[in-house]
Chain A
């Protein structure tokens, strides 16, 4: 079973969001998503300062066999990206909610995200 931490919010497209103490939002892909993709070998992330629009593709995660878009779960500006992923994309597989985070974004937590129970229901019905 994939992990779905209770403390996070989730999207229908398998991103997770975490509100930080400074108000910024950290974004990654879920354990379920990384397991579906398999071994990741490349992650393409947007530059700091880039404006994101909720629902638009904002990053690409590539496994050996396929590339998958990551969709911006909120509208905001990129404050930071995880540059460790340039040389170690496998961190997303190993620790999707920790060392494998993707982006830190300014903006508000969208109201239409899923809580852990709703996301668990989504992945279990898939």
Chain B
């Protein structure tokens, strides 16, 4: 897509001013990095970084049947969260394939905020609207809002003084996966990096000032490149890579986002998912760590005893770990050692349980480094 047709977030000029290398992402002109993706990655693990995630779609759902409606369309049960709490779950089709993964915030008894992947915005909204007829609900895209993610061990300390007074009071002592709302500001203690921090939804017009204040306060701007290596080390799935509408939550490590109880809640995809659960899924998600130097790549075949048993759905280099790491979809039960085919070589690797890194600390045993 020509650069002038790409969408721009309210922080586009700020990115250019910060020296960003821009790249197209899901129709948006987004910062890839501001000089060094690795430095940004390490800054988030050690201090704090801020990501412009305004390209993600926000939509409000309200109405007397908003709760009933979401209990039908989402595989996770919003009845489990009280006001001011967030739930990570999936929107499934009838075959239990994942239409999108999303965060849903309960803002009141009959009022919710959905945060959707940028690339899935139109598909999600069309799907949600097509299933609205039987429910008294109103779905409103919030294109008037921006979103910043401030992540890292210092993120909350550095961000709190910069928030408007009302929301600042609300975030004091905020639990994980909880949120504080004040006017059009919504601050959730959530994120996508494996570190503590906030995701801040705010009026688009207010975003540049907060961005500038964060940078002046010592928070480092971080691009989509670092966001990807951080989420990969944290073992967090990426839509379109680790999951899509042909993959069920049970096949990609997202079974925990499904709430089976109460048994009478008939969410879309339940029957297909229950049948797969009863039969035992043929595929599962696994983490892999290279036992030699190198970088893993999406799509690379995963082999065991010379036979391909799956492929990498995400692959890269873990800057905190210093190893090639990946997420794979493999035959159920895969364990132990494996090899990954990269170009014409088979590299030794080992299956591990993600996350690889959480809150700055290594969470997997690294296999000894071999010469490949």
Given contacts A64-B38, A64-B229, A64-B316, contact A41 B295 (CB under 8 A): yes
Give the residues from 19 to 62 in chain A that come closer than 8 angstroms, CB to CB, to chain B. 38-39, 41-42, 44, 60, 62
Contacts of A38 in B (CB 8 A): 21, 32-33, 36-37, 225
B80 touches A (CB below 8 Å): no
Q: CA of A64 to CA of B21 in the docked complex: distance in angstroms?
A: 15
Contacts of A62 in B (CB 8 A): 294-295, 317
Contacts of A44 in B (CB 8 A): 294
Q: Which of A39, A42, A64, A90 interacts with B294 by CB under 8 Å?
A: A42
Interchain CB contact under 8 A, B295 and A67: yes
B299 touches A (CB below 8 Å): no
For B32, B37, B295, the residue with the greatest tally of chain A CB atoms inside 10 Å of its CB is B295
Count residues of A near B (Cβ-Cβ below 8 Å): 12
Contacts of A86 in B (CB 8 A): 293
Q: CA of A25 to CA of B228 in the docked complex: distance in angstroms?
A: 39
Contacts of A60 in B (CB 8 A): 343
Contacts of B319 in A (CB 8 A): 41, 64
Q: CA of A64 to CA of B319 in the docked complex: distance in angstroms?
A: 9
Q: How far is the CB of B49 from chain A (nearest CB, A)?
A: 15
Given contacts A60-B343, A64-B38, A65-B316, contact A42 B295 (CB under 8 A): yes
Interchain CB contact under 8 A, A42 and B38: no
Contacts of A41 in B (CB 8 A): 38, 295, 317, 319
Q: CA of A67 to CA of B324 in the docked complex: distance in angstroms?
A: 13
Interchain CB contact under 8 A, B37 and A64: yes
B121 touches A (CB below 8 Å): no
Interchain CB contact under 8 A, A42 and B317: yes
Give the residues from 51 to 95 in chain B that come closer than 8 angstroms, CB to CB, to chain A. none
Q: How far is the CB of A96 from chain B (nearest CB, A)?
A: 15
B311 touches A (CB below 8 Å): no
Interface string of A47-87 (1 = CB under 8 A from B): 00000000000001010110100000000000000000010
Q: CA of A86 to CA of B21 in the docked complex: distance in angstroms?
A: 27
Q: How far is the CB of A33 from chain B (nearest CB, A)?
A: 15
Residues of chain A at the chain B interface (Cβ within 8 Å)? 38-39, 41-42, 44, 60, 62, 64-65, 67, 86, 90
Residues of chain B at the chain A interface (Cβ within 8 Å)? 21, 32-33, 36-38, 225, 228-229, 293-295, 297, 316-317, 319, 324, 343
Identify 12 new A-B residue pairs, CB closer than 8 A, beyond the known A39-B38, A44-B294, A65-B37. Answer: A38-B21, A38-B32, A38-B33, A38-B36, A38-B37, A41-B295, A41-B317, A42-B293, A62-B294, A62-B295, A67-B297, A90-B38
